[in-house]
Structure 1
Amino acid sequence: MAACLAVMAAGAVLGAPDTARAASTATVPGSVSPAVPAATLVGAAPSSQAMTVQVWLAPDLAGAEAFADAVATPGNAEYRHYLAPSAYTARFAPTAARAEAVASWLTAKGLKAVHVDGGRDYVSATGPVSAVQSAFQVRIGRYRAKDAAGGGAEFQSNDREVSVPAALAPDVLGVTGLGDGSAARRGTAQSAPTAPTASNSPNSPKPATCSRSWAQHVHGFHPAYRGLTKASLPICGYSAAQLRAAYGATWTATGKGQTVALTEETSPTAMFQTLTDYAKSNHLPLPKRSQLRQVTAGSACASPTRARDAADGPAVDDEAEMDSEAVYAMAPGADQLMVVGQGCDEDQALLDAALAVLNGKGDRPQASLVSNSWQIPLGEVPAKTVHAIDVRAAAEGVGMYFASGDTTGLTVTDSDPYAVAVGGTTVGLGPAGNRVFETGWSDDYGYLDGGKWTDVGISGGGGGTSGVYRQPAYQKGVVPPSMARVRVGKQTVTGRAVPDIAADADPDTGMLTGYIDTVSHGKPGPYHTMPNAGTSLACPLIAGLVADAQQGREPFGFINPLLYRLAGTRALHDVLPIRPSAPQQDRSAWIAADGAGTSPGIDVFDAQDAAQTQQVTAKGYDTMTGVGTPNGPAFLTALRRAPR
């Protein structure tokens, strides 16, 4: 109701269209951010501000889905008989005439640089805000989202769903570029929440802050928190050797001959040198320059707002470095293609990066695996836009791996049934990389101040059940009915459950990553290390392992139909809840005070609280870790021996 009222109010500003005009246009469902109704309008976007929009075109989705299912399902006659990008365009994309009709309309509305992309996935056009508003019958403004503290970030958005000519509406999936994509988020987890200033004595001795292997250091404390009086210190950052041992990466399978694409929003500094330094410090083979290639997709943004947003970003942004290093740790022989999306709309830029891999060079995609360590919140872009990209990928034999996110619930990107959604775990590894314990990443954080504990809440990986997509065939008989059912309006439906598979993601058990900062005169500085985590770590770890399995073989493509057949077998490690009888040091991590006046705290693992999240860790499939985590060489062998 609030959304409807917001649209009605906005319509009053624009003026109600006359009957003839209303009959000649149609709105595009899902083309306005769900954050708009609850946000505060700060002001209008400058009418002269340049914008680049993309009108996404509707392919023959039904036909493409049927083909994608056939080539991804073991035992089907079409199994792994993929289409080249040009063949997919010819068979399933809208006709050139339909694409040109959309292009002609945009040109007639005064937009410039109108261009149909090579795969006929979208038509792009550039123009001032005034021309874009007139074309799509919207108003574009700056909004401030409201958070629990009463503040909130600013974002740009259209005020209502866009309108297009009724004759063109069947050909339009959605429109991107009207906002700035400020709600798009990477999958990297942050450290534990900062607590208020401690009232404890500043002269208290400082304990060790982290461990090299699980339970190397254990800290005792009083009073008890949730029945616990001791906890292990978090990991300083696992090495490549520890993670390789945990997931069974072997030196006979290094991903040689495979290409893993990494879609990014920022360009790293001196990536090849960074990867070389990472390899040296982790005793891995040194990379060859031919193994790492970086390209851009989209056009750079000249918007002062986006430039300001970038300036206000984190002091250290090592997202791309972590993605590259995680893949290299698992698959040091694989080639890496880093695609950096550009543009004023972050969502659009990241989708451009993913699509650039699929359009390839006409005869083949640029990679057979794409690691996407980012997510777009529900409603920020039309779901069909992401769906069309994932279906194309499956038909072309490209595996699309998406981080499930670092907040509970679903995203547009992880809930699609043709994406491999990668969830997160908390994993304690011994000195030799042996798994001491592993459970779903869902930490309840509390801090100690003045001898009293305060519970801050739960943080963890994303997951849940989609109310948009029905349960795909590959999940039937594997996902328990209790986890597959979801309320949609007044009905209970069986939906697509997320995630599909998982790997290490908890900041308390993350990976030691490296980065190089830019110093004076644009020159790279020294190599630094820091622990990093999140489902954006889990995602490239899984992609690297699948590259190992693909070595010397045809692309596996979309692996979910095969993956769910492996549920309950030796190929996967079933991630279970932590038992109450488990040693206390395996149930939580002690977060030491940082020396700047903050209180110490504790992360209690595998926290289940229906009031905060409906996700659970359970035997078999669960909505935190999917079917489980890779179980060493058995995982690689099972992927290779898929029945024809």
Structure 2
Amino acid sequence: MPTVFLALAVVGGMAGALPSSAAASDRASIPDSKPSWATPQAKVADAAPASKLTFRVYLKLRDQAGAEAAARAVSDPSSSAFRHYLTTDQVRAAYAPERRTVDAVRGWLGSAGITVGSVPANNQYVEATGTVDQVQHVFGVNLAKYDVKGAKLRAADRNLSVPATLAPQVLGVVGVDQALNLLKPSHVTSNDTTTKANEGKATTKPTIAPPPDGLRNSTQCSSYWGEKVDTTDPTYGGGFPSPLNYSPCGYQPAQIRSVYGLDQAVNWGFDGRGTTVAIIDAFASPTIYEDASQYAARHDAAHPLRKEQFNQLVFPETDPTQEDACGASGWYGEETLDVEAVHATAPGANILYVGGSDCQDLSLDKALNEVVSKNLAQIVSNSYGNQGEDVPADEVNAFSSIAQQAALEGIGVYFSSGDNGDEVSTIGTASPDFSASSPWVTAVGGTSLGIGKDGKRVFETGWETGRSVLSGGVYTPSAPGAYQYGSGGGTSRLFPEPFYQKGVVPDALAAKNQTGTNRGRVVPDISMLGDPNTGFLVGETQTFPAPEGVHYDEYRIGGTSLSSPLFAGMMAVSDQFTHFRHGFINPWLYKVTSHTPAITDVQHVSQADVRVDFVNGLDATGGLRTTVRSFDYPGLAISTARGYDDVTGLGTPNGFWFLALS
């Protein structure tokens, strides 16, 4: 399967450490290592010379073509090598960069006065920290601040360069620019908001930051779809049902297992036991286990989250003296949701929480590589992403290398598809989000879901939300409202159509955003509940105004950051059910399960609900706000349709049918 690897010019063989002052003729440029937005017109200031930054020099695999071919072979049901995964030792022996390459890079950086940090077990990169002045010198650039969509981000004024003798082994450099600072967790809360290196070794100590501000649902919500109906407000119109149901307060674990056909499997002991699901986010809530344990005790008492089921590897928080270090507490809700969602669909699975040192891909890729390089889990859920695909080639290359190694080892990597629909409202053009658009991951989209009193599906459709506010007896704007948010999807401009999507994904979708006869990777691959208006109840320690203070409470949450861990949990059950790792499942999904009862096709449904929210997010003292949320909003560049579509992918997994076809 072709991937995007922007190769450096091959200038010569390996050599020892070179001084950073090597002549220009002895250096090689790293293509596309300067962000496109770093233009003279956007420059606002030079970077402070004494400011520190941490970056990573990623190294090429020894046999990139061989690694890619082997990763495809072990993942493809039509291959004789299908599911004959490699051990971590075998991957290192066959493909990892050589130690002499690592030593040469370390020597080169050290000779420039840069502090050289960690090297992971698979020799994937060399991490280092230096001042802006040192980094400018070693890469032959000038660093400045540029105005990018209202943010002031650091970048180089030209492509980075490295000694010519090192260039053939360098995959890219990540962290010199700040193109990834806009990365966000893919969750939406009940008030409609989205939200030191220790030589690089993870610890078991969570970061300490104050809990986030408290949130609560209003009492005007339902425990299941249709429990409470709005008979007092005006008719919404637009062909939607009348009267409308009040939104659910947040579905609970048993309801999720029931609607997706997992309840019987769990009751028979197929609950994910013996498997490990890794969850990767930034930072770590200090109360994450206590919150998830209390949540399970309250809402899923037959399936407690036992202490021995939960472990953490947390990289120490980025040194706050480093330029533009970001805070931790904004990610706490994401982390708690991920743990509680995995436990909801796989209550017997082990959970490994891995917390990056900050909220940039630089740190999150490091956390992912920690799992892959040591084979710490067979399933990895990632609930974050970039807005669109305007991502430096260095980051794309580095991530692709890690994801391919995961496939070689039989590790399934799952990514939320995003919460901004087609991204037109945020970046001005239709695009899926990276890293979900990578052909080496499974992109999980979101749905809007009605679960009835009996735990069965009343409806399920694509999550794309329209919003109308009730004021003076009138809904503004009228049905279907104004687009607010929804499941990410679309056709990649970065990645060509992978082999497994050919013949399944409609040609009209694969041809979007392309030129000539080219075809692109289409996102997502599969979907589960994501809409916060039919969302999941989550429990978390929060900070409330005096006299309440800090304590545990609950609220409704959603986003594709709910979809991804729910599906990761289902795959843990499937791994236990079949007694083998599924690994990278996309070829299997498209070749074996599509067009079968294993996948429930998600189609358009004309449906909406009424939400009543506290204006202040806490109680009625600040007033109430009534809105209607319409489902599967029309008019985007992506849409829900019969068969494969670019909002919900192939559809949603269907219980025992899905497990049986594994």
Q: Normalised by the shorter chain, which TM-score bucket?
A: 0.7 to 0.9
Question: Per-residue displacement from partner, 1:461-489 (whole Å, max 9, x unpaired)?
Answer: 1111112222111111110111111344x
Q: Would the alpha carbon gap of residues 257 and 132 (structure 1) be closer, same or farther in structure 2, given more than 3 Å must change?
A: same
What's the secondary structure of 2:295's corresponding residue?
Answer: helix
Q: Which residue number corresponds to residue 453 of structure 1?
A: 476
Q: Which residue number corresponds to residue 592 of structure 1?
A: 612
Q: Would the alpha carbon gap of residues 487 and 210 (structure 1) be closer, same or farther in structure 2, given more than 3 Å must change?
A: same
Say which of 51, 54, 68 aligns to 2:53: 51
Q: Which residue number corresponds to residue 559 of structure 1?
A: 585
Looking at structure 2, the residues matched to 169 and 96 of structure 1 have their Cα atoms a distance apart, in angstroms, of 16
Q: Would the alpha carbon gap of residues 125 and 603 (structure 1) be closer, same or farther in structure 2, given more than 3 Å must change?
A: same
Q: Would the alpha carbon gap of residues 245 and 39 (structure 1) be closer, same or farther in structure 2, given more than 3 Å must change?
A: farther
Question: Per-residue displacement from partner, 1:373-424 (whole Å, max 9, x unpaired)?
Answer: 1113423343111111110000011000111111123122111111011011
Say which of 628, 635, 638 aligns to 2:651: 628
| Cα offset, 1:518, TM superposition | 7.4
| Cα offset, 1:493, TM superposition | 1.2
CA contact (8 A) 2:55 2:174 kept: yes
Q: Which residue number corresponds to residue 162 of structure 1?
A: 160
Of 165-174 and 71-80, more deviation after overlay is shown by 165-174
Looking at structure 1, the residues matched to 46 and 305 of structure 2 have their Cα atoms a distance apart, in angstroms, of 49
Q: Which residue number corresponds to residue 183 of structure 2?
A: 184
Question: Per-residue displacement from partner, 1:181-205 (whole Å, max 9, x unpaired)?
Answer: 42111111245769xxxxxxxxxxx
Say which of 212, 234, 249 aligns to 1:222: 234
- 1:412 and 2:434 correspond: yes
Q: Which residue number corresponds to residue 279 of structure 2?
A: 262
Looking at structure 2, the residues matched to 342 and 236 of structure 1 have their Cα atoms a distance apart, in angstroms, of 33
- 1:90 and 2:93 correspond: yes
Question: Per-residue displacement from partner, 1:128-166 (whole Å, max 9, x unpaired)?
Answer: 1110111123333344433xxxxx344333344322233
Question: Per-residue displacement from partner, 1:301-348 (whole Å, max 9, x unpaired)?
Answer: 2336545x428x64x8311111111011111111111111115x6211
Q: Would the alpha carbon gap of residues 381 and 262 (structure 1) be closer, same or farther in structure 2, given more than 3 Å must change?
A: farther
Q: Which residue number corresponds to residue 368 of structure 1?
A: 378
- 1:245 and 2:258 correspond: yes
Looking at structure 1, the residues matched to 250 and 66 of structure 2 have their Cα atoms a distance apart, in angstroms, of 46
Looking at structure 2, the residues matched to 590 and 38 of structure 1 have their Cα atoms a distance apart, in angstroms, of 49
- Aligned pairs (5 A) from 1:575-586: 575-578=602-605
| Cα offset, 1:40, TM superposition | 4.5
Q: Which residue number corresponds to residue 17 of structure 1?
A: none
How much identity, in percent, do the aligned residues show?
Answer: 36
CA contact (8 A) 2:284 2:332 kept: no
Aligned residue type for 1:402:
F
- Aligned pairs (5 A) from 1:27-106: 27-37=29-39, 40-59=42-61, 60-106=63-109
Question: Per-residue displacement from partner, 1:235-280 (whole Å, max 9, x unpaired)?
Answer: 1100111001011222221111100001110211222221221111
Aligned residue type for 2:321:
S
Q: Which residue number corresponds to residue 499 of structure 2?
A: 473
Aligned residue type for 1:242:
Q
| Cα offset, 1:112, TM superposition | 1.7
- 1:435 and 2:457 correspond: yes
Looking at structure 2, the residues matched to 550 and 566 of structure 1 have their Cα atoms a distance apart, in angstroms, of 16
Aligned residue type for 1:590:
V
- 1:351 and 2:369 correspond: no
Q: Would the alpha carbon gap of residues 432 and 29 (structure 1) be closer, same or farther in structure 2, given more than 3 Å must change?
A: farther
Of 455-464 and 402-411, more deviation after overlay is shown by 455-464
Gaps of 5+ in 1: 1-19, 147-151, 195-205, 580-586, 640-644
Aligned residue type for 1:509:
T
TM-score (norm 2): 0.82
Q: Which residue number corresponds to residue 531 of structure 1?
A: 556
CA contact (8 A) 1:39 1:145 kept: no
| Cα offset, 1:614, TM superposition | 1.5
Say which of 412, 423, 443 aligns to 1:399: 412
Q: Which residue number corresponds to residue 642 of structure 2?
A: 619
CA contact (8 A) 1:567 1:627 kept: yes
Looking at structure 2, the residues matched to 288 and 193 of structure 1 have their Cα atoms a distance apart, in angstroms, of 32
Say which of 348, 351, 368 aligns to 1:336: 351
- 1:303 and 2:303 correspond: no
CA contact (8 A) 1:571 1:631 kept: yes
Looking at structure 1, the residues matched to 41 and 593 of structure 2 have their Cα atoms a distance apart, in angstroms, of 45
Looking at structure 1, the residues matched to 228 and 156 of structure 2 have their Cα atoms a distance apart, in angstroms, of 52
CA contact (8 A) 1:487 1:493 kept: no
What's the secondary structure of 2:439's corresponding residue?
Answer: coil
**When the two structures are aligned, how many residues end up with a matched partner?**
582
CA contact (8 A) 2:483 2:633 kept: no
Q: Which residue number corresponds to residue 7 of structure 2?
A: none
CA contact (8 A) 2:75 2:585 kept: yes
Looking at structure 2, the residues matched to 371 and 530 of structure 1 have their Cα atoms a distance apart, in angstroms, of 22
Aligned residue type for 1:136:
F
What's the secondary structure of 2:123's corresponding residue?
Answer: coil
- The root-mean-square deviation of aligned C-alpha atoms, in Å, is 2.6
TM-score (norm 1): 0.85
Aligned residue type for 2:281:
E
Say which of 593, 604, 608 aligns to 2:634: 608
| Cα offset, 1:79, TM superposition | 1.4
Looking at structure 1, the residues matched to 296 and 503 of structure 2 have their Cα atoms a distance apart, in angstroms, of 43
Question: Per-residue displacement from partner, 1:501-547 (whole Å, max 9, x unpaired)?
Answer: 10000010110011124799xxx953211111111110000000110
Looking at structure 2, the residues matched to 632 and 40 of structure 1 have their Cα atoms a distance apart, in angstroms, of 52
Q: Would the alpha carbon gap of residues 207 and 71 (structure 1) be closer, same or farther in structure 2, given more than 3 Å must change?
A: closer
